[in-house]
Structure 1
Amino acid sequence: MKTMQTKQFKDVQVGDKLPKQAIPITVALITSGAIATRDFFPGHHDKDAAIELGSPHIFMNILTTNGLVQAFVEKWSGPDSIFKDIKIKLGMPNYPGDTMTFKGEITATDAQNKTVEVGLAGQNQYGTHVTGTVLIALP
């Protein structure tokens, strides 16, 4: 089994791109994310309630999106990276059957603190679901 390596600060620079990552959006992902984050709003687990609200299906909550953002960056940066800040903004909803594709790149570095800022976006068939920045420290 291959061990995941952590990026080293000396090996990254502004403009480096993270590998794109496609996430299939499923009912299970949306509902389990809502349950795990204790978000019991019916639009995240009850299709009939979501339709009554004007949505075509249940939709992902922001906390699940935040977790997917963190997982996307950590998959690139490695297990010893330290998250310092995550700032995200939601756009279009994620519904079951969508595929959200993340892309990102290093937008800033700070040699004194060995931190890296990653700008990112996650898009689905309707447009941009999430945009944001993540600040991580690397060894």
Structure 2
Amino acid sequence: MIKKLTNVTLNHNTIEIDGIDSLVSVEGRWLEAALLFDERYILLFLIEDYPFEGEDELFIYLIDTQQNCTVDQAKISRMCRSGIFSDLIIHSKNTISFEFMVEGGWTLELFKTPKKEIRHLFSGTLSLVVKRPFSLSRYFNVIQNVQ
């Protein structure tokens, strides 16, 4: 189950929960949304804007509150493109959608247990919009909705 949180804040690149430093560092200047998943994970959406370059980046982090660390992350950006994070909708117990940078927006599916991820090992290029660090497993998948 996914629930919106109001007790999560950003203090210089560190996440605070109920005013207590989580010691989890993140990129991004503005915390746009925080969601609780499966009573264990916190899903964060943060924006970094570069006003003189006309470019925005959306950072997505999944934090495990039991291990107090980031278990998965993604970044959505495109050179010389700005975007506004909006229309966050919870669709089911593990799926949300949101708007950022592209028409049609995005769908993000959270997994109760990590899934093996080897597609990026065989593809010639990674997405020009979604960037993710190397990992053999994923806790969520984010895809662009087709219009």
Q: TM-score, normalised by structure 2?
A: 0.31
Of Structure 1 and Structure 2, the greater strand share is in: 2
Pick the structure with more helix per residue: 1
